[in-house]
Amino acid sequence: MEKILIDGYNLLYKDGVLKNLAERSLEEAREELLDRIAAYRTAEMEILVVFDGQGARDRRNPPGRPGIQVRFSRGPRTADQVILEIIEREPKRGSLSVVTSDKKDIGRVARAEGVRWISSETFLRRLKRIGPKGVRRHEEKPATSSSEELEYWLKRFGSDPKDAD
């Protein structure tokens, strides 16, 4: 089971649309981010999104988002500190990935502890490859047909394969 730990506001503010939405409603921006993450998540993933502040209560499996947990830092602790504590307590660090653009603090520690670090920008590109209803978009071109396949289809439709050139 892959575990993904996300620095919520770090990811949110790297996306222009979410950043603009957050200026109007931070809660709506968080919900939109969680919707995108839910569309990305597969059954083999557990995802924990950590946000700074006491803005809302922690949520396990928010409605419509199984396998996703949301945690807010409390008191003087920041989301960064919570993330570092989770990394420290994780016994299976090889299956843990951390999403943040904070290379200096979190990224450095994550890599030193054997945790995979993914920049927020890279993760956002992954989220954008997800289409409606979680359908993954493929960016690569489909494979070209082999000469045998081409010959088969030309014959099938009554064309002479020699005329295909």
Domains of the chain: 2-139 (3.40.50)
Paired residues of 136 in beta bridges:
130
What's the average pLDDT block by block, 10 residues per block, for the chain (165 residues)?
Answer: 94 95 92 92 93 65 75 87 93 91 88 92 91 51 62 71 60
- Residues 77, 79, 80: CA angle, nearest 5 degrees: 95
- The reported pLDDT for the residue numbered 64 is 63
- The reported pLDDT for the residue numbered 32 is 93
Position of tokens 């790297």? 14
Paired residues of 71 in beta bridges:
50
- The reported pLDDT for the residue numbered 138 is 47
- The reported pLDDT for the residue numbered 77 is 86
Beta-sheet strand order (sheet of 45-51): 59-60, 68-72, 45-51, 2-7, 96-99, 116-118
With H, G, I as helix, E, B as strand and everything else as coil, classify residue 47. strand
- The reported pLDDT for the residue numbered 60 is 55
C-alpha–C-alpha distance, residues 114 and 78, integer Å: 22
- The reported pLDDT for the residue numbered 59 is 56
Tokens of 129: 């490859």
- The reported pLDDT for the residue numbered 117 is 93
Amino acid at 144: T
- Residues 54, 116, 123: CA angle, nearest 5 degrees: 65
Q: Please check whether residue 47 is in contact with residue 138, taking contact to mean a CB–CB distance below 8 angstroms.
A: no
